[in-house]
Amino acid sequence: MGAPMAGHLIKAGYKLRIFSRTRAKVEPLLAAGAEWADSPAAAAEGADVAFAMVAFPKDVEEVFLGSKGFLAAKHPPKIVVDMGTSPPGLTRRIAEAAAPKGVGALDAPVSGGDIGARNATLSIMVGGEVRDFEAVKPLFECLGKTIVHQGPAGAGQLCKMVNQILVANSMVGACEAMVAAKATGLDPERMLQSVSTGAAGSWTLSNLVPRMLRGDWAPGFHAALLAKDLQIAVDEMKAVGHALPGLEVTERLYRRLDELGHGGMGTQGLLKVWAEVLGEQKLP
C-alpha cells in the first residue's frame, strides 16, 4: 500500500526520499523522481514529515526508535507519522520519545485496502496533537477521502482496532452466508445480488465476496496482517478489562487460517477455514 500512497505525494508535487528493505519494489517511484535513502534515518534527515508504512510492531519500532530509525537522524524530521497498524502503547512510546527532540508524532492508520491506496480514497484515522494533525492534513488529503482526528497519541490506532473488529466479524458472517447458500441449494451469485444492496449490505459483500466466489484469493490486505491486528485488539481489550466474545472467536479463526499456511491470501481467504471442516466441494 505504501508504494501507491507515495506515488500520490509525488504526483501532488512533493519531494520524497524513500527507504525500503527491497529497493526493487520502489524502482517505479525512483523513476518518478523520488530520491533513494539507505536507511529510515537517512530518509527522515531534515524532512518536514517522515511517513512509515510497515507491517509488524517490531518493524515499526525499528523504523521509529532503532539506531537507524527516524528519531536517530542527525536533524530529525519535524513530524513522524505511523500509517501502519500498531499497538496503541507502542504509538504512545514513539510520541514520548519524539517530544524531547521537538518532533511531533502522529499515528494515522488507514482503511480501504489496496483499492483505497491506489485510488487515494483511504479512510485515515489520526491520533496526536491537533497542531501536528493540521500541519500534515494537506498530505493526508493526497492519500484519502475521509480524514478524522480521533484524539491524542494512540487514538488513531484505537479507532483502527475498532475498524478491524468490524472488518473481521463481517467476513465471518460473509463466509457463513456463502456456506449456508451452497448448503441450501441457492445460487450464491444470485443470492449476493439480493442481499448486498439491502440491510445486510457491506464493503465486504460488495468488494471481497465476489473475489471469494471467483476463487480469487489475492491479497488486498494479507490475512496474516489481519490476524496480527486482531491479536492487538484482543490484548487491548484485556488491558481495559473487557471481553468481546465475537472478537475472540474471529481472532482464533484468522489465526487458524495463518496456521493452515494461507496467511498470504487476502482476508477473503477465511473461507478456507470452513473448507478445512467441510471440504472444498461443499463451498461455493
Q: Using CA atoms, how far apart are residues 175 and 63, in angstroms rounded to an integer?
A: 36
45 DSSP assignment: T
For 78, the 3-state DSSP assignment is coil
> Which value, in Å, is the radius of gyration of the alpha carbons in the chain?
20
Q: Using CA atoms, how far apart are residues 36 and 83, in angstroms rounded to an integer?
A: 20
106 touches 98 (CB < 8 A): no
18 DSSP assignment: E
Q: Which three cell numbers stand for residue 103?
A: 518532533
- Answer yes or no: 160 catalytic: yes
The string of DSSP letters for 197-211 reads TSTT--HIIIIIHHH
128 touches 156 (CB < 8 A): yes
Which residue shows C-alpha cell 484485556?
Answer: 238
Q: Using CA atoms, how far apart are residues 66 and 106, in angstroms rounded to an integer?
A: 18
Q: Using CA atoms, how far apart are residues 52 and 60, in angstroms rounded to an integer?
A: 8
155-183 and 188-195 helices, crossing angle to 10°: 130
| Of 11, 160, 228, 282, catalytic | 160
- The upper half-sphere exposure of residue 234, i.e. CA atoms within 13 Å in the direction of its Cβ, equals 17
Just list the catalytic residues: 160
